[in-house]
Structures are given as structure tokens and as C-alpha cells.
Structure 1
């Protein structure tokens, strides 16, 4: 059974949704493909392999092609998330999101295009700008071996479902590290009351960032107090191969909500992601690509961006609900708290992993965390 931060007696702020996951936002689906193979010395193209793909479908398989309002924010641009120029232009997107390793962006892009050709051939006749994001798993994985293929990406998309979300060493998070411990995939959610209505904010993180000494859990400097070896920031590999300091890696965060927020408000929520990350200790390394996307599933309607030009038709004018700006603070707080807990869940769920050339990534020791928190 997967361990999460609340299982260790830690209670992050805010009220969670039923699953405490991004899938608490109705319609959101998450799928994975995890690739673990081989042991020993690195043989490029053979292994060892410690990688995978995560797929997020904002409106599920049936909703591909229907727009979600969206906003993007880059805390530090040493990374990649495709498709965001179009999101910045029109404030919405219609594509799935995939997250994998740094050198798999091309395979993810191709795989999404191939998948859409299968599930919606008419949509595929338009231009397709998938959102493909990455973090670096080269410490554990044969990152130059092209093990993530378009076929693997299509399988991740096909596997996407609602419900509980696996965490830790799964999907794109398989080979990732966080705060000098094993990192990976994590998720959390918060509910926000607004009059008689309840809105949900969900976060998904691919956590691959932070130096050991920075790790903080609800104010306790766990990274400084936990006496656990840190092979990622010391030893022969560090002296032989590393040209950047500890804390490098990257973090991708996807925030979903069913609140009726416009694209500018989505971007404002994405700008609050660093608040949640900072609560876990990071100060934002130069060598960590920190890229964040927020979207809303409210105001579900057909897209007209790909429609042929015709004489103006008033039926194309849409009326949408929008959250008042002076009521955004609770959504901002929900974003920060959900992101914080998603990172901690990724750390708690991850297990020890040994990858290429015997490189080790130790899991966050649960018993030590529980003792320090007491």
C-alpha cells in the first residue's frame, strides 16, 4: 500500500477532496507507463532503464478537442513544456498533457499526435500542439537510450482513468529524485467553499528538484535533521560526472480546477505554485526547470479555433461564468497547499531505487520523518 504524508501523522493545511488527488476535479484522468529494466553499467540504448510517461487528460478521453481555459508560468526556464506559446496567445488548450524525461519530448509529441489520429481523426486534420513536459532522470536512467517511444506514449494515454492516482516511482516520475531522496509523481487536492457551491483545486507534480538541506515538512527542517546518506550530492559520481550543484533537476506542476476562472486567473494560479514548492524548502535552483500549467474544466463548450472562416455568426459568441477577482485568494491558497502536499506525497510514496552504474536514490525514511515531526 502506498504511503502518503498524512499516513505519517503530518496534517498539511486545507481540506482535501475525496481522493486527495487531481482526479477529484471531475473529468480529469491520469495514465502511466513505467519502464524499469536492467542493472549495472550504462550501455546506451540497452539500459539500465528507469523512466516512463505520465498522461493527463483534462476532460478525459471523450473530451479531447474541447477547450479548457489555461494559463502558464515559468519560475525558471531551464526545461521544456511544449504548446504553451499557443496557450499564452489564446488562453486555452484542447490537448492531453504528457510528462516524461528530458530527452523524450519528441517521442511524447509524436505519440500524442498519433494517438489523436486514432481517437479523433477529424480533430487530427487540424494543427495539433500537444503539451509535453519533462524533467531530467539521467542520474538513474539511460536517458539517451530512446526507451520512451511514441507507442509507449499512446499506451499511457490509453491507460488514463479517473479515481485514485498512483504516486512515487511511476510514469514520468520513475527515475526522478527530490531533495536528495527518491522523488517522482505526486498529487493532492483542496476544496474551496463559495456560497452554496464547492470548487476543487487539484495538483499533480513530477518532483525532481531541491537539495537535501532544503527539505522542510510543515516547518520542520527534515533535510538538515535526518541523518541519511546522500549519494546524489556526494561520492565518486558527484566528483566524476556532475557539473551542476545539488538541487538541479526540475519540477513540472499541473493544476486543475472546476472553478470558473478565466485564462488570466489560471495564469495567476500557476504563479502561486512556487508558494507551495517553497513551503517544502526549495529556493529555486538555476539548474532546475520549474514550469507550471493551470487549467479549468468549467465552461465546457466546443472549440471554434479550428473552424473554417465563414461570415460572422452570432451563435459563436459564448457567455461564460467567471470568478470575481476579489474571491481568488482561497483558490490561490488551495493551489499552494495542494502543491505542497503533492510534493510530500511523491516523496513518501517513492521507494529506494538503484539505476545505471549502481547509482542509488534512497527513499525518504518514514520512521525518521515521524520521529522528527513528533
Structure 2
């Protein structure tokens, strides 16, 4: 189930064929999900990878940028993106205590891909905390799980909800996880695609808004994993990480500006105001497809001709990014399923619950919700 299946239209733009980050040419997504029941130390976690190019990214780097709305989170590889403006590896999502092992596994995978061509890499790994529903202290993610996610990477439809890195996540006190969406600009606006992939694990129930309607105020009495327990933290704790991809030819500083607009989509759903949330966003562009190979240990060509979107045409991309992030978060919640583990329970937001809440606050279905580009 996705938000448009309920007749709910987010923003004014049209999604791509798959309404996913994979609508951006060449982008692939893979997951590996781990479920192991073991009493009070059950394991519900995983890894999600985003491959920016059909081939190894170090053979065809992407311009990229970063924006941090709130820094209560961890990540690897961001400083080099900020400094060099390049993405040269896949991006991975996992849980807070597994950033290191995922990074190391990506380094090993890059070594196998590059052999003598590359001599170093700094993989980008983002995290959110799944310790309410997962035995996070057990550090159960292994290199084999990362390799499995890489092997699973593909274009087309993307699995959402309780999969990959999103397996144990909670969003607005409902079950959260992985979500994705895309927007295709009109030909007059450039015809480019913007796609988003989120790992949603943030937010309080009462702040939840859907298409601008304050449904969280109606849904507030539904069960929450944070009520009746004094040892798992407070509602709103957690984080959200976002990757934005586009085929518009953006320079690194423009990618950073695009990443910043993920904040708008997050705010529309009711997030972005918690001290305890790590809100970290990465954006990359596949639009300049002939950037020189990097990290090869020898000098390359001294100059490269690149294209860029003029600033007076970039606003449509910003709007598309905000809409795609907003819809991706809602897709993550609707695709999720109930999860009970380690003495806690996170219930998924059911379609009928959301529709009833929307009707209570005056919403009416939009017949254009199912439109595709």
C-alpha cells in the first residue's frame, strides 16, 4: 500500500513510472533484511544500498552535496563529499551501531571492483537508531549482509517499509522504515527526474500531517511503543536519513542546495524539530556522466567540461525534492507492518485508520492522485 493508492495526492508534480528513486536513470537499490527471534534479544535490522551508476561509481563519479538539518546522528564519508563535491561509492543505510562494519564491507567490495585501478575510498554510510525493536548492542549486521544487499541492487520497483536498514525503525510512533518517491518535471521545466529514498525513524504522533491535514491530532490515542515503558526513551527520539538523486546536471553546491530541500518535505509531515533526531541528507546528480575517474593513484586530465542547471531554472527541482521526500516518508509508514520484539510493539499505520482520520479533519480524495508522468 502506498499513499497514492488511497487517493491522496502529495504536491502538484507527477511521479515517475515506479514513483521511486530508481526512476532516475541508472540508480539501483538493494536490501538485506535480518529477522531472528531470541526472546528479549531479538534481531530486526538490515542494510539498504543505493548505487548511483549502472557501473562502479568510482569509474563514473557523481557530483554530490550534503545538508545536515540536525546533527544528532552519525555518518561516514560526508566530509569528503563536502570537500570534493563527489560521490564515488554506493550509499548505505543501516542502524546506529553498524555504521563501521557496513563501511568496512563497502571498502572491501570497492577493492574487489577496482583491483589495481583504485587505491582508496571513503564509503558513505548513514544510520538511524533501531534499538527499541532490535538488539542493537549485539551488532548483528555483518559484511555478508552488506554483500547480500549489494547483490540485490536493481532498478525498477523498490521494496518499502520493514526492509533493509528500515527493518526496525519507528516513525511518528507508528512502524516506520524505508520509503521512496519521485517527481518528473515538465518538458518546459527541463524534463528531469528527482527521486528520494528515506529511512524514517523520527517524530511524535501528534505532529503527523498528511497532505497538510493534522491527522496526528486524531490518531493520538492509538497505541504507541513509547507509552507505558520507562526504559526505551521518549517519543520523537530517532532520526531520518534521506538520499536525493537527479539526472539534472547539477554542480556540487547545487546538490547541497537540493539536499537542503529535504528539510521542507520532512517539515510538511511533521518532523525536523527534535533535538534527539539526526536529520542528514545527501543529494547526487548523474547529469554529468563523463566526470573523470578518481582515486586511481595517478594524475588525470587537467580540465573537464561540465554542464549546470542555471539558477533561474532550479526552483522546480527544489519543489520536486520536497514533494518526493514528503511522499517517501508516508510511503514508508503505509508499507510497514506491525512488529513486536524485545517487549515492545510498534503498530503500522493502517490505511483505514489514516482515511478515517483524514475525513475527520475535512479531507476529500483527489482523483488525480494516481496520475503518472
TM-score over 0.5 (shorter chain): yes
Deviations 1:309-355 (A, max 9, x none): 55xx8x54111111001111100000000000000000000010011
Alpha-carbon distance between aligned partners in 2 of 1:338 and 1:278, rounded to the nearest angstrom? 13
CA contact (8 A) 2:61 2:294 kept: no
Q: CA deviation at 1:365?
A: 1.9
Query: What does residue 24 of structure 2 align with?
Result: 25
Shift of 1:240: 3.2
- Distance (whole Å) between structure 1 residues aligned to residue 110 and residue 294 of structure 2: 17
Q: Would you say the 8 A contact 1:184–1:207 is kept in 2?
A: yes
> 2:59 & 2:123 partners in 1: Cα distance?
11
Equivalenced residues, count: 358
Deviation at 1:29, TM superposition (A): 0.3
Residue 5 of structure 2 aligns with which residue?
Answer: 7
Q: Indicate whether 1:116 and 2:107 are aligned.
A: no
Name the counterpart of 2:321.
335
The equivalent of 1:349 in structure 2 is 335
SS across alignment from 1:289:
strand
* Deviation digits for residues 120-157 of structure 1 (CA, Å, limit 9, x no counterpart): 2134x411100011000000000011210011111111
Contact 2:291 2:304 in 1 (8 A): no
- Give me the CA root mean square deviation: 1.6
1:320 equivalent to 2:306? Answer yes
**3-state secondary structure, aligned to 1:292:** strand
- Flag the 1:308–1:143 CA change in 2: closer, same or farther, 3 A: closer
Identify unmatched segments of 5+ residues in structure 1: 43-47
How far residue 369 of structure 1 moved from its aligned partner, in angstroms, is 1.0
Whether the aligned pair in 2 keeps the contact of 1:205 and 1:339 (CA below 8 Å) is yes
Please give the per-residue CA displacement for 1:244-283, whole angstroms capped at 9, x wherever unaligned.
Answer: x321100000000000111111000111111000110124
Q: 1:117 to 1:232 in 2, by over 3 A?
A: same
* Residue in 1 that maps onto 2:265: 276
> Paired residue for 1:361, among 325, 341, 346?
346
CA change 1:373–1:206 in 2 (3 A) is same
CA distance in 2, matches of 1:227, 1:254: 29
Q: Pairwise mapping of residues 295-314 of structure 1 onto structure 2 (< 5 A)?
A: 295-308=284-297
Q: Distance in 2 between matches of 1:170 and 1:257?
A: 24
Q: 1:87 is matched with which residue: 81, 85, 101?
A: 81
Any conservation in 2 of the 1:52–1:174 contact (CA below 8 Å)? yes
Asked if 2 retains the 8 angstrom alpha-carbon contact of 1:65 and 1:95, the reply is no
Aligned CA distance change for structure 1 residues 40 and 269 (closer, same or farther; 3 Å):
same
CA distance in 1, matches of 2:261, 2:116: 37
Q: Secondary structure at the match of 1:206?
A: strand
Q: 1:101 maps to what in 2? A: 95
2:51 corresponds in structure 1 to: 57
Distance 1:154 1:41 in 2: 28
Which deviates more, 100-109 or 9-18? 9-18
Partner Cα distance (1:201, 1:241) in 2 = 36
Task: Give the corresponding residue for 1:41.
Answer: 40
Q: Which of 160, 164, 168 is equivalent to 1:171?
A: 164
CA distance in 2, matches of 1:25, 1:166: 16
Correspondence for 2:60 among 66, 72, 95: 66
Following the alignment from structure 1 to structure 2, what is the Cα–Cα distance between the partners of residues 227 and 267? 35
Aligned mates of 1:63, 1:155 — CA distance in 2: 18
TM-score (norm 1): 0.92
| Residue 231 of structure 2 corresponds to residue 240 of structure 1 | yes
Measured in 1, the distance between the counterparts of 2:350 and 2:94 equals: 26
Quick one: which of 135, 138, 141 aligns to 1:148?
Answer: 141
What's the TM-score, normalizing by structure 2? 0.92
